[in-house]
Amino acid sequence: MKIVNPKKEKRKKKEDNEMKIVLLDIDTLGKVDLSILEKFGKLEKYNATCKEDTLRCVKETDIIITNKVVINKEIMQKCDNLKLICIAATGMNNVDLDFAKEKGVEVKNVAGYSTASVAQTTFTLLFSLLGSSAYYDTYVKSGKWSKSPIFTHLKREFFEIKDKTWGIIGLGNIGKSVADIAAAFGAKVVYYSTSGVNRNNEYQRKSLDDLLKTSDIISIHAPLNEKTDNLIGKQELSMMKKGAVILNMGRGGIVNEEDLAYAIDNFDIFAGLDVSKIEPMRADNPLLHVENIDNIIFSPHIAWASREARKTLVNMIAKNIENFIKEEQ
């Protein structure tokens, strides 16, 4: 006669009913506390997941958490237990939304978590360009200032934001935040609505051509879609003022990279980029090989990722899971 341990049997039943959650690309979130997600079930984490391994990782799961790993129709068709896909980002183009709806799988993204982080990084890149901070830092650390006969060194000019015209392309939450900060610095802010529906009354709306021709600083905070793909090419860049700065904080495909590289070397344009069309940026990207290398500064798609933003992101994912479970009960 088999003797059953009631406690062990109860624990096994609980484990059998436990929700299985798979996080597919934890490395894209950096060092962040994920313990809040463990209260919903068994959390399985992968540093990164290649296309060939995706199905194996998610086949038995109830909830998928993905930042950039693609979850397509072929994957979902073979996931009988799948109930929820949580995208650890605002963009949802890595999930087949139509098939998810057909299959009855709910998809939830997160929005608004990175507004302050992206706005701050926009100004970080701008200040580095306008202030020649890398040059002056190197000058001091090299010991040259210590040998200077005078108290200062003004080989490179730097510029103020005050009284400059700042053009915002895409006046959503992030664009509006950047606009407000720029205005606080004394800039005249104008904007171009990529959707065509924004009617903000606080700042002057302009056509794209007018914005490009009149702005000293241009920052892009728009999504990549059929209206913004290759929005800024050689013709648009040639309209910009000599010495103007363009900052792309949206998506790489919005600005033609080959044309921008040409403009940096031939039109005396400055650029700050947090994104590229293909990420990570390829070694043969023309922007890495411009002659006027001091006219461009990069960050590797980190604008969204301050410590505070990533913590908020995880909390929002947890809230999405919690709300889904409540709806299912």
For residue range 91-103, list pLDDT tens digits in order.
899 999 999 999 9
Structure tokens at 132: 């020649």
Q: In this model, does residue 112 exceed pLDDT 70?
A: yes
pLDDT of residue 5: 52
How many helices (H) does the chain have, and how many strands (E)? 11, 12
- What is the rounded distance in angstroms from the CA atom of residue 149 to the CA atom of residue 12? 79
Q: What is the DSSP letter of 241?
A: P
Q: What is the DSSP letter of 103?
A: H
Contacts of 251 (CB under 8 A, 6+ apart): 222, 223, 224, 228, 275
Of the candidates 30, 103, 97, 61, the residue with the CA atom closest to the CA atom of residue 302: 30
pLDDT of residue 16: 52
Q: Model-level pTM?
A: 0.91
Q: Which domains does the chain have, with CATH numbers?
A: 16-111+307-328 (3.40.50.720), 115-298 (3.40.50.720)
pLDDT of residue 125: 98
Tell me which residues are annotated as active site.
Answer: 251, 279, 301
pLDDT of residue 56: 97
Mean pLDDT, to the nearest integer, of 104-110?
98
Look at residue 67 and give its three-state secondary structure.
coil
Contact by Cβ (8 Å): 283, 257: no
Mean pLDDT, to the nearest integer, of 169-192?
98
Q: In this model, does residue 106 exceed pLDDT 60?
A: yes
pLDDT of residue 14: 43
Q: For the segment 8-37, what is each residue's pLDDT rounded down to a tens digit?
A: 444 444 455 689 999 999 999 999 999 999
- At which residue do the structure tokens 């090299």 appear? 142
Mean pLDDT, to the nearest integer, of 294-313?
98
Look at residue 303 and give its three-state secondary structure.
coil
Contact by Cβ (8 Å): 255, 232: yes
Mean pLDDT, to the nearest integer, of 49-75?
97
Mean pLDDT, to the nearest integer, of 65-89?
97
- What is the rounded distance in angstroms from the CA atom of residue 166 to the CA atom of residue 189? 5
Mean pLDDT of all residues belonging to the chain: 94
pLDDT band at 199 (very low <50, low <70, confident <90, very high): confident
User: Cis bond leading into 280, ω under 30°?
Assistant: yes
